[in-house]
Structure 1
Amino acid sequence: MSTVDHNSSETPKGAASQSASNQPASKRSSPMLWIGLTAAAVILGVVIYSGIHQRVQAETTLGSRTERAAVPTVNVIHPSTAGVSQEIVLPGNTQAFNDTPIYARTNGYLKQWYVDIGARVKEGQLLAEIETPEIDQQLEQARADLKNAQANAQLAQITATRWQNLLKTNSVSKQETDQAVSDLSARQATVDSMTANVHRLEQLQSFEKVYAPFTGVITARNTDIGALINAGAGGVPQELFHMAAVNRLRVYVAVPEVDSEAAQSGAKPTLTFDEFPGETFQGTIVRNSDSIDMASRTLNVEVDIDNAQGRIKPGAYAFVHLKRPEAAHAAAQSLTIPANTLLFRSEGLRVGVVRNGHAELVPITIGRDFGATVEVVSGLHPEDEVIVNPSDSLASGNPVQAIAPQAGGAK
């Protein structure tokens, strides 16, 4: 019994000894575990904070970009002072100094023509001949009738003289003498009538030959050999030729009322033509209509230009350069802006100007219209930033973002 008890009493002691040996190892591993957990918690916190911060920053950036995108971007220019020209350039219509159709003055058939289109002819030069057989026969008959009338008048003259001599001796009555004298007067009147008829037919016969009325160029030929010629009696006359005097040309130009002072008679404007690039021609203002057309508000002005060499063709499109009056030009403090900056509103003409990051609609007064640009006489300053191609919905106070003004301003 005592042996068994001894063994049983020793077993708890061994277990207690083994437990005591393991307890220090467990206590040694606890600090390392806490350090690992703390490090993991710190890393997790850093990751979470970094993700949240990046998300907040992205949302902030997106919001600012959205706000900036909501503000429209506009191109702007500065009004230009260098573009104000001292001359006015206006389109003109070139016409021949004399331009006329040529008709026949007698009926017949065309016998021969001697000139064609483009031919340069002198005044009095023969252009064509017409056969007039009817006129020729009528002229022969009229001459024969004139000879008969002259013979009757001569006999009446002899009879009247004889009766007047017999009356002196009271051989005939005064009544018979007066009848003879009266018959002489009637015969002489018949001769005068026949003579006038012969001259008329001779004049018609002279129209068989068609001559140039002035020196110029033939621009059209509307007949040919054998064609029936109708002078207009009982029908519509036919134009045989068309002539134009091109040694000197007329250029008609419509000058706006605001620039009418530049169209003074005697002024020497220059003219340019598309077919002669880089070349100018000298003209002279010879007259104007001296009244403003109510429909177009323009003054019709005639400019004559020498064309002795025939280089300029009638009907050519010309550009007339008129000099502005110096006093008016010196007094004008005007600017120019592109035409695509204008806004046509019910309250009047406006332009959009960027001021302090916002658009402002400014009323302006324009002077001359140059096509691509217009002259502004009031409402703008050279330092203003004018919006190009403004939207129709643009209103004063709208925030806008302006792109730097283009170099050179308005051209």
Structure 2
Amino acid sequence: MQLKNVIHHDPVRQPVFSRLLKGSTGFVLAGIGLLALLQSCKSTNGEETANNTKAAPVVVSTEVVSLQKGRLSSSLQIPGELVAFQQVDLYAKENSFVRKLYVDVGSEVKTGQLLVTMEAPELASLEAAAQSRLRSQEALYIASKSNYERLLETSKTPGTISQNDLDQALAKKNSDFAQWDAAKAQSREVANRRGYLEIRAPFNGVITARNVNPGAYVGPSGKGSEFPLFTLQEQKKLRLVIYVPEAYTGYLNQQDIVNFNVNAFPNEKFSAQVKRLAGALDSRLRSQRIEMDVTNANKRLLPGMVANVMIPLSTKDSTFILPKTAVVSSQERVFVIKVVNNKAEWVDVKKGRETDGKVEVFGELNAGDLIVKTGSEEVRDGSTVILNSSLQF
């Protein structure tokens, strides 16, 4: 409007401004046309995008497997320890001195075999005193018994012995008998203590440690001996001890046979039989202690060896088994893709054991369901699936 007013009041410049006004109108018309074209293109692209969004993705030539039940056999490797079937540390019961040793480290001994003799001079004095007291009490009892019997015989004549004298004689006889009995017990105690000066093997085994020499002062643990005289182990039969995690406690039962190997003989396999199950979980390890018996007649296996135990994990009931590639594990869920009427359906599952590229799955599945063999989040839930008939089985 201002431009038109300038042209109208200025006759000199009117022709020039008229030409400029005509040129500006052309530019404006060209701009309006370009804007309309861009708006048309934007509208067209928006419609195409909306149509593409509404269209369900299609997966072509998807390979599927038919879900079936089976038994998945695998094994679990657990470290174990071989220990002696029986082991004992032998201490001296009496404070004494070692007189003679009859065995040494590595000696194989039999039950009852003499291992060491000791001497304690004070026990000889105690034994002599006990024998003297025993004889004294025996004599007193014999005298009181004879006195009572004479009084009893005399009392048969009325008025000769009062009942009080007879009762006192009976009490003296019973008291002397009790004292004699106590003296006999004391004498046996001293004799038993002298027997402790000889230490014998409590079972068949091998001496694996010796901590004394002749002349050493020994006694009970903490009262003369810091270490035991000997350590005796039974080695012809060993215990294999393992701790089985909670998830695998149901796979081993008594009398089951397991195989193991040791580092000393890496190419050899040994067998053991399950004998003892703890029946409870260790509160710290959350595992069950299981012991197996190992026959070791040739004594090649040694107590303390670490064993690699292979536990067979064979299921008793059949479960659904799929290739590991069929199970999709995302940050939010674990699922398989089931095909129903050419539609993909995500089914949440839980995985069990895995072996040889296969895995146990548990979920809302049925035998014969078609499962995408190679699952992926790209196969969206509800999308159309075109199956390659040559890949179905």
TM-score, length-normalised on structure 1?
A: 0.61
1:154 aligns with 2:137: no
| Change in 2 beyond 3 A, CA 1:215/1:234 | closer
Give secondary structure in 1 for the equivalent of 2:149: helix
Pairing partner for 1:89 from 52, 77, 80: 77
Asked whether 1:109 is paired with 2:92, we answer: no
Post-superposition CA distance 1:105-142 (Å, at most 9, x none): 22211101111111111111100001021112101110
Give yes or no for contact 1:367–1:375 (8 Å, CA) kept in 2: no
Residue number among 227, 246, 260 corresponding to 2:235 in the alignment: 246
The CA distance in 1 between the partners of 2:76 and 2:222, in whole Å, is 51
Structure 1, unpaired ranges of 5+: 1-83, 338-342, 350-362, 386-395, 397-411
Pair 1:238–1:375, CA change in 2 (3 A): farther
2:257 matches 1:268: yes
Distance (Å, rounded) in 2 between the aligned partners of 1:367 and 1:335:
12
Map of 2:110 onto structure 1: 122
Q: How do residues 388-403 of structure 1 correspond to structure 2 at under 5 angstroms? A: none
Which residue number corresponds to residue 287 of structure 2?
298
Contact 1:95 1:315 in 2 (8 A): yes
Are positions 1:167 and 2:155 aligned together?
Answer: yes
Q: Distance in 2 between matches of 1:104 and 1:303?
A: 33
- Give the Cα–Cα distance (whole angstroms) in 2 for the partners of residues 125 and 231 of structure 1: 21
Question: Which whole-Å CA distance do the structure 2 matches of 1:207 and 1:306 have between them?
Answer: 34
Q: Deviations over 1:26-65 (max 9, x none)?
A: xxxxxxxxxxxxxxxxxxxxxxxxxxxxxxxxxxxxxxxx
- Determine whether 1:223 maps to 2:222: no
- Counterpart mapping for 1:185-334 below 5 A: 185-231=174-220, 238-327=227-316, 331=319, 333=321
What is the CA–CA distance in structure 2 between the aligned matches of 1:142 and 1:382, rounded to whole Å?
Answer: 91
**How far, CA to CA, are the matches of 1:147 and 1:291 in structure 2?**
59
Root mean square deviation, CA, Å? 3.3
**Residue ranges of structure 2 left out of the alignment (5+ in a row):** 1-71, 335-347, 363-370, 379-393
Query: Could you tell me how far apart the structure 2 residues matched to 1:135 and 1:294 are?
Result: 49
CA displacement 1:219-251 (0-9 Å, x = unmatched) = 111111111122359666651111111111111
Q: CA deviation at 1:206?
A: 0.8
Structure with the bigger percentage of strand: 2
Partner SS state of residue 323, structure 1: strand
**Following the alignment from structure 2 to structure 1, what is the Cα–Cα distance between the partners of residues 163 and 269?**
88
Contact 1:254 1:301 in 2 (8 A): yes
Deviations 1:10-39 (A, max 9, x none): xxxxxxxxxxxxxxxxxxxxxxxxxxxxxx
User: Residue in 1 aligned with 2:165?
Assistant: 176
Q: 1:201 to 1:382 in 2, by over 3 A?
A: farther
- What is the identity, as a one-letter code, of the residue corresponding to 1:159? N
8 Å Cα contact 2:93/2:196 also seen in 1: yes
- Secondary structure of the residue aligned to 2:231 is strand
Q: Aligned residue pairs: how many?
A: 282
Contact 1:335 1:382 in 2 (8 A): yes
The SS at the match of 1:172 is: coil
**Any conservation in 2 of the 1:366–1:377 contact (CA below 8 Å)?**
yes
Where 2:268 maps in the other structure, the secondary structure is coil
Structure-2 residue corresponding to 1:98: 86
d(CA) in 2 for partners of 1:178, 1:247:
67
Distance of 1:255 and 1:375 partners within structure 2? 23
Partner deviation per Cα, 1:283-340 (whole Å, 9 max, x = no partner): 1111212223344332221111111111100010111222222445x63636679xxx
* One-letter code aligned to 1:324: L
